[in-house]
Structure 1
Amino acid sequence: MNDRPLPGVRRASRPGGEHESQFCLLRQRRFAPFFWTQFLGAMNDNVFKIGFSSLVTFQTARFSGVDAKTAAFLISAVFILPFVLFSATSGQIADKYDKAMLTRFVKTFEIGVMLIGGAGFVFHSAALLYVCTFLMGVHSTLFGPVKYAYLPQHLSKAELVGGNGMVEMGTFVAILAGTIIGGAAAGFVEHGAVVLACGCVAIALVGRLISAAVPESAAPHPELRINWNPVSETWRNLKLAREDRTVFLSLLGISWLWFVGATFLSSFFSFAKDVLSANPDVVTVLLGTFSIGIGVGSLLCERLSKRRIEIGLVPLGSIGMSVFAIDLYFASHAIPPAAHLLTVGEFVSVLPHWRILADLFLLAMFGGFYSVPLYALIQSRSQPGHRARIIAANNILNSLFMIVSSLMAVALSAAGVSIPGIFLVTAILNIVVATYIYSLVPEFLLRFAAWLLVHTFYRIRLVHAGRIPDEGGAVLVCNHVSYVDAVVIMAESPRPIRFVMDYRIFRSPLAGWLFRQAKAIPIAPAHENPAMLTRAYDACAKALAEGDLVCIFPEGKLTRTGDVNPFRHGVSEIIHRTPVPVIPMALRGLWGSVFSRHEAGLMPRPVRKGVMSRLTLAVGEPLDPATVTPEGLQQIVTALRGARK
């Protein structure tokens, strides 16, 4: 059989082999120098911020005019302010110039900034340290669009989730390393400031050396004329992001995550001192636990999503974040009182403290499930010519949300709300915001429902799933074995699918809601409702013309024997109106389950046969619509299914 794809069918690429680990990217020049450059930048940010926060919280007397209770929130707000002011400009710069050149410029700038910060540490000057905090925010603002626009330029779509997972993991491991170094250095009462100054400058120098190996990254829009007005350009970037509703709401979703994350991270110093009665070293344990959780969640995303952009993980992440944030509130009230500030050894020897650490780890891990698919979705669905400006819009929204987070925390603290109370308020707000976003974009909840159902009951093997086109209209045809066939296909498709479904299914409250949200197309036989049949064909034609995938089960009914029923002529009518590639598919292993019409299917296979039941979804070669007949399709689908039902 000819292995070349038909025009309009773009297959998913699999560089380096279908099962190549995301860690293999660390051996490749297109990723490794960039990874370590951003790693060191994130680590230096946190060495500086944690060192600064620790000094002003636990050695307040050395810094005149500083309020220890609000200093951590103020430091976060000052760091974030440049994102609001300069993100629009930095997005244009990243689209106009080579990203490797920009990376080296940013790392050179970092050296100068850290010399200022070093002077602030040595002379115990809060003013210089706040200036350095602002300039490090400028550094991160310039690098942000470069960082996230670089990945889709050097990684294939199949590598995006893994690459983003590595970057997110690296960022939070860098936060952990920076937290440990910054906290440990600040712990030297006499010489901590000098150690911090030398450490920050040294890390900046190493980062600049590594950045020299970042490969050339051609500018996607070199003729772009930069608008230096940050107000008008910020508004233009936000309008640009709003052109794709799903992308814009994904930006809001990521920004909300930063709101939640900033609230927790900025609270850890006061949480440790005032709630846990612990010393600064315990702050390092809290931040480390949180960072490891984010890293683990980010890395697990590739495995859970099977190297695809699986937005079904996003609702899972938001649910987990709220559950463990609420439990953190209750766990904080079950802590025994302490007579003095606990050391790390004393802290970990108290059993209720392990519940605190578990809540922080799991909250952060689910945050990784939430963030990585959203970043990959934005990168994949943004136009290359203005991708960096979309990332800039993301940074603007992130910074606004983080500033609001700081202001909310300061206001709640001033009103007498405890740190655990702030955590509870954040968890409740997370539920409200998540519900609102998912009501606007049902695609997230649909993918979550499909992913959860399929991965709870089945272990699915995909055969040639890359033959489902990445873009453009196509008709998918499949055998009809069970009531969950559409859900299985929905869960395993890299793209949304418009299913052609029997109109009676829409009468069911649950299934009807599910398929209405998925924009399924109701169809009826000509002898029952000819008008509905005509509307169904019209809807299929419109969907295919707009570049959507349409899936039909040509048998028209569930099999009662496990064998493939004769295919009807509906598929011929669809491709006659809109000639697009036809993708034959076959499901194996669903016959005999509770969802099929098998007489023995009284309970799900997981109950009868063990933890999970094996399924196979096999995808055939795309077919030229001019050569497709119902009889020929039936033969191909039957052959794809094989002997196993």
Structure 2
Amino acid sequence: MTETESTSQTELPSLYHDSSFWGMTVTQFWGAFNDNLYKQLVLLFCAQQALQGAKDQQDIALGVFALPFVFFSGLGGWYADRHTKRTIVIACKVAEIIIALLAMAAFFTGQLLPLLVVLGLLSTQSAIFGPAKYGILPEMLRSDDLPQANGVIQMTTFVAIIFGMASAGFVKQAFPDALWKTSYFCIAIAVIGTISAFWVRRTPVAHPGLPFRWSTLGINPETRTLLLQDRRLLSVLLISSVFWFVGGIVQPLVNIFGIGQLHLSESRTSLMAACMGVGISLGCVAAGRVSHKRVNFKLVTVGAWGLVLCLALMSGIGWWGPGDGLETVKQTDASLWEAFIPLNAAEWMSRTVLTLVGFFAGLFIVPLQVELQTRPPKSQKGRMIGTMNLINWVGIVLSAVFFGLFTMVCNKLNWPMSHVFLVLALVILPVALFYHPRDEALSHDAPGT
């Protein structure tokens, strides 16, 4: 670290008085809202078709959303290191406006294929945006502010997921034959996110003139060497991928569990999924505060054990079956506001346990995110975040494949889909048992900053 870089760190404003930080927070909040509103609308479209006798194509929709992250995250990391990240953030938000206009046209058709095309474009934009979004944080903030900054960023991201997923169920019920009207709202949100992106301060280019190579589309040689030499960093990357594999299955699982197994309306099912977002928001903020200027891996252990227990409890709720009165929920759920009040014990328990699932997930992911931002050298931060996105989305692609397999197995054996919650608990169990790295202190002079 040069003297200039060290001085710039000490002269930065405190986190909560930094307009650049809040500009980035607002920008990614509304981007996450649009992503999840549209994705949940497509997933509900697929789930409803499945209940009408068609094949459940949620796994295809999830695959379409995930594959661009696999193919383009490396490219996003290369852009983030070769150009100023602020420029990339602004360009991606302008692209979001264009994609929102295309979404309006896709809704007009009422067909799945155009919806999937737009979903793929949306995830491509997000794949390019991600490395710049997370890579710019250690460049524009104090190193010891990163745990709290990531806590706030992750919290607001999942608040956006709450409103995005919950809004999807409501707007689908409110505009069953005119979903294109929601695009006006999405376009306005994209414009707001673009304006707030201009608040983000410009940071120096991390690696000027970085040449493009075909390996850039995957994991470039420098990053591969770094991961092979730094096993701690490699382990964090792999554990992060396991987390997103589980998360990629949980979202469609909750959809089919709520609509198909508990016989809930779409708005109630979306609220049940949104409970996870509430929990993650709380968990992320708690993780940022508890970390106290260090990468606190004890939170990963606590989060892993919490996830194992809560996922097992969700499986237990499924064993009891729909319960009295749940068969009529879809017919009696006449008012959208009525959906906020659970009608029986099974719905109460599901919302409560899913909130806890989210809380422990927030504790789990924040330390991993901070480690992946701070540990790589400055010239490789963007590409490391790109590699993280790629590996995470490989996990999510695999989750789409496994969700399809689980669906087939459960249908063939006549098992409730809630059994899959128990399978996911067993996936997390080895992390809880065996992954216990030491904590790592953060300071203005942390390596790689």
Q: Which TM-score applies when normalising by structure 1?
A: 0.62
| Matching of residue 375 in structure 1 with residue 369 in structure 2 | yes
CA distance in 2, matches of 1:339, 1:78: 33
| Matching of residue 50 in structure 1 with residue 48 in structure 2 | no
CA distance in 1, matches of 2:387, 2:349: 38
Letter of the 1:358 counterpart = T
1:93 and 1:226 in contact (8 A); partners too: no
Equivalent residue for 1:362, pick from 332, 352, 356? 356
Aligned 1:445-464 pairs, distance under 5 A: none
Shift of 1:104: 1.0
Letter of the 2:27 counterpart = T
| Matching of residue 341 in structure 1 with residue 318 in structure 2 | no
1:332 and 1:356 in contact (8 A); partners too: no
| Matching of residue 265 in structure 1 with residue 265 in structure 2 | no
- Structure 1 235/114 Cα, relative in aligned 2: closer, same or farther at 3 Å? farther
Equivalent residue for 1:300, pick from 262, 266, 286? 286
Q: Could you say which residue in structure 1 is the equivalent of 2:193?
A: 207
Equivalent residue for 2:429, pick from 407, 428, 431? 431
Equivalent residue for 2:262, pick from 244, 251, 276? 276
CA distance in 2, matches of 1:370, 1:215: 30
Aligned 1:219-234 pairs, distance under 5 A: 219-229=205-215, 233=219
CA distance in 2, matches of 1:52, 1:386: 36
1:119 and 1:197 in contact (8 A); partners too: no
Q: Could you say which residue in structure 2 is the equivalent of 1:170?
A: 156
| Matching of residue 40 in structure 1 with residue 30 in structure 2 | yes
2:144 and 2:443 in contact (8 A); partners too: no
CA distance in 2, matches of 1:261, 1:208: 28
CA-to-partner distance for each residue in 1:488-544, whole Å, 9 max, x for gaps? xxxxxxxxxxxxxxxxxxxxxxxxxxxxxxxxxxxxxxxxxxxxxxxxxxxxxxxxx
| Matching of residue 30 in structure 1 with residue 20 in structure 2 | yes
- Structure 1 58/470 Cα, relative in aligned 2: closer, same or farther at 3 Å? closer
1:259 and 1:405 in contact (8 A); partners too: yes
Q: Match of 1:415, SS?
A: helix
Shift of 1:228: 4.1
Q: Match of 1:207, SS?
A: helix
Equivalent residue for 1:396, pick from 385, 390, 393? 390
Shift of 1:16: 8.8
Equivalent residue for 1:353, pick from 347, 353, 359? 347
Shift of 1:53: 2.2
Aligned 1:579-590 pairs, distance under 5 A: none
Q: Which TM-score applies when normalising by structure 2?
A: 0.88
Q: Match of 2:437, SS?
A: helix
| Matching of residue 241 in structure 1 with residue 189 in structure 2 | no
CA-to-partner distance for each residue in 1:299-350, whole Å, 9 max, x for gaps? 0012222232211111111111101110111122234143323435596131
% of aligned pairs identical? 25
Shift of 1:361: 0.9
2:77 and 2:131 in contact (8 A); partners too: yes
Equivalent residue for 1:108, pick from 69, 94, 108? 94
CA distance in 2, matches of 1:282, 1:299: 26
- Structure 1 158/419 Cα, relative in aligned 2: closer, same or farther at 3 Å? same
Shift of 1:425: 0.4
Letter of the 1:109 counterpart = A
- Structure 1 36/190 Cα, relative in aligned 2: closer, same or farther at 3 Å? same
Letter of the 2:151 counterpart = G
Q: How many residues align?
A: 430
- Structure 1 181/356 Cα, relative in aligned 2: closer, same or farther at 3 Å? closer
Shift of 1:117: 1.5
CA distance in 2, matches of 1:16, 1:395: 28
Letter of the 2:367 counterpart = P
CA distance in 1, matches of 2:256, 2:237: 30
Moved more, 68-77 or 276-285: 68-77
Higher alpha-carbon Rg: 1
- Structure 1 74/341 Cα, relative in aligned 2: closer, same or farther at 3 Å? farther
Letter of the 2:407 counterpart = S
More helix by share: 2
CA distance in 2, matches of 1:265, 1:68: 20
| Matching of residue 317 in structure 1 with residue 303 in structure 2 | yes
CA-to-partner distance for each residue in 1:141-184, whole Å, 9 max, x for gaps? 00110111111111112100000001110110011111232222
Moved more, 303-312 or 140-149: 303-312
| Matching of residue 413 in structure 1 with residue 407 in structure 2 | yes
Give the gaps of 5 or more residues in structure 2: none
Q: Match of 1:329, SS?
A: helix
Q: Could you say which residue in structure 2 is the equivalent of 1:141?
A: 127
CA-to-partner distance for each residue in 1:218-243, whole Å, 9 max, x for gaps? 21101211224555655764444333
CA distance in 2, matches of 1:295, 1:224: 36
CA distance in 2, matches of 1:205, 1:394: 28
1:315 and 1:370 in contact (8 A); partners too: yes
1:89 and 1:227 in contact (8 A); partners too: no
CA distance in 1, matches of 2:253, 2:302: 25
- Highest RCO, 1 vs 2 (Cα 8 Å, sep ≥ 6): 2
More strand by share: 1
1:238 and 1:393 in contact (8 A); partners too: no
Q: Could you say which residue in structure 1 is the equivalent of 2:145?
A: 159
Shift of 1:352: 3.2
Shift of 1:209: 2.0
CA distance in 2, matches of 1:96, 1:468: 24
CA distance in 2, matches of 1:332, 1:414: 18
CA distance in 2, matches of 1:380, 1:319: 26
CA distance in 2, matches of 1:16, 1:96: 24
Shift of 1:265: 1.0
Q: Match of 2:208, SS?
A: coil
Aligned 1:167-206 pairs, distance under 5 A: 167-206=153-192
CA distance in 2, matches of 1:226, 1:377: 26
Q: Match of 1:349, SS?
A: coil
Give the gaps of 5 or more residues in structure 1: 1-6, 449-464, 472-645
| Matching of residue 70 in structure 1 with residue 64 in structure 2 | no
Q: Match of 1:387, SS?
A: helix
CA distance in 2, matches of 1:192, 1:179: 18
CA-to-partner distance for each residue in 1:558-613, whole Å, 9 max, x for gaps? xxxxxxxxxxxxxxxxxxxxxxxxxxxxxxxxxxxxxxxxxxxxxxxxxxxxxxxx
CA distance in 2, matches of 1:286, 1:170: 19
